[in-house]
Structure 1
């Protein structure tokens, strides 16, 4: 398989709400096996873009291609089955289940028993080995039997990444994975994303420029719903238009 092939492509992607253009003419090319970051000032259209890619919103214009197939008109469930799996901004785990049980629930999708409510819980034991492998991958194996609500925030995000991995994504969409974290958790989750990205493709929305600069292979900068710049961190951070966009919106904040 050619590692440089495009896994996700958007052509002229746009979304308007009652005449207001939230996203306009966005052309994205995400290369297989890379970490691609979507950045931009607040209100730049990053989350709207994510919602379009997973069909939580219907595009007003343009096309979305995944592995060369036009998925523009497919429902969210079909896009998820194709392997485009999104992890949400707000930690989406079951607080009263154990850490291991959360991963097993995500793995059930592979067994096709999600709706077999009458089956005994022991029928999920076959998933324990894989669940523990995933917990090991995100550094949570020693927390397997803990109730999820007792986990620290950064570890909840790590668990969420494990449950996303359980869905066997071909493309992982991470929406603000380090939002609301302290310095130590940010470093831990950044290292985790870098580790799980090996052999996978990740598209992430991220505010923290230290995170982006350390792990993103390619960066697309949005401003007012349009692509302002694209390239490596070095290229975009030295682009006068990008610097101006960030300086203006962050009151002199650094990129």
Structure 2
């Protein structure tokens, strides 16, 4: 395999006469955690949608493990190992943690819509579901309904359901958004833990999280790449400081 797990070349998306993303080039090194940051309206979400094929690019190409996936549909891309967390992995509030993860496992095993299968057949997935819950710190809450979890633990459950899809590359869209300080550190530690053997691209506004997790950072502004580099380099770039109107929220 090549050095990069995920690449975008000249990625552009136009809505009418508006360029939401323009000529974005991105290389995410295999086994790394790479951040995509920028002020509101910079095009981060559109870029994520293009990478996961929720949107079709107006021009440009996307490569996963060196294979051109530009023309594939989002479901095909997910089956090849590129999974966007917190979108695909939305949880069912009235199912237990175990049941939520088991549904995701059924999807990965191609049995998600075979509702006539016996409970005994589905229960064969319980061992793996318990293992995944243990990985995200929810092993003791397997039978707790998702609706009873704290916000931070719901995010942990979403990561577990994403892991059930066996991703090679995970795209995490603002994983700590809306969290209190007490939840941010556990989720940051969890992302670091599950990154072992995987590649992660993350959109995150909390730059304390970015600085502690990410090896490389790409900054977007007005849908274009403003700069790229390590955190120390990017955070001291005059253009980045100006883009954030005088500073970056920590």
TM-score scaled to structure 1, two decimals?
Answer: 0.94
Q: After TM superposition, give the deviation of residue 175 of structure 1 in Å.
A: 0.6
Q: For 1:104 and 1:178, how far apart are their aligned partners in 2?
A: 24
How many pairs align?
250
Aligned to 2:210: 212
Taking a change above 3 Å as real, the CA distance of residues 253 and 69 of structure 1, as seen in their structure-2 partners, is closer
Query: Could you tell me whether the CA contact under 8 Å between 1:91 and 1:157 is conserved in 2?
Result: no
Query: Could you tell me whether the CA contact under 8 Å between 1:247 and 1:254 is conserved in 2?
Result: no
Taking a change above 3 Å as real, the CA distance of residues 43 and 75 of structure 1, as seen in their structure-2 partners, is same
The structure 1 segments of at least 4 consecutive aligned residues displaced by more than 4 Å after TM superposition are: 252-255
Say whether residues 1:64 and 2:80 are aligned partners: no
Q: For 1:11 and 1:95, how far apart are their aligned partners in 2?
A: 39
Aligned to 2:165: 167
Aligned to 1:96: 94
Query: Could you tell me whether the CA contact under 8 Å between 2:155 and 2:175 is conserved in 1?
Result: yes
Deviations 1:84-135 (A, max 9, x none): 0111269710001000110011111233211211112221111111111111
Aligned to 1:109: 107
Aligned to 1:187: 185
TM-score scaled to structure 2, two decimals?
Answer: 0.96
User: 3-state DSSP class of the match of 2:244?
Assistant: helix
Q: For 1:61 and 1:253, how far apart are their aligned partners in 2?
A: 31
Show the 5 A alignment for 1:37-186. 37-88=35-86, 92-186=90-184
Query: Could you tell me whether the CA contact under 8 Å between 1:221 and 1:228 is conserved in 2?
Result: yes
Deviations 1:22-56 (A, max 9, x none): 00010000011000110000000000000001111
- RMSD between aligned residues: 1.5
Query: Could you tell me whether the CA contact under 8 Å between 2:37 and 2:218 is conserved in 1?
Result: yes
Between 36-45 and 113-122, the greater mean CA deviation after superposition:
113-122
Residue segments in structure 2 that go unaligned for 5+ positions in a row: none
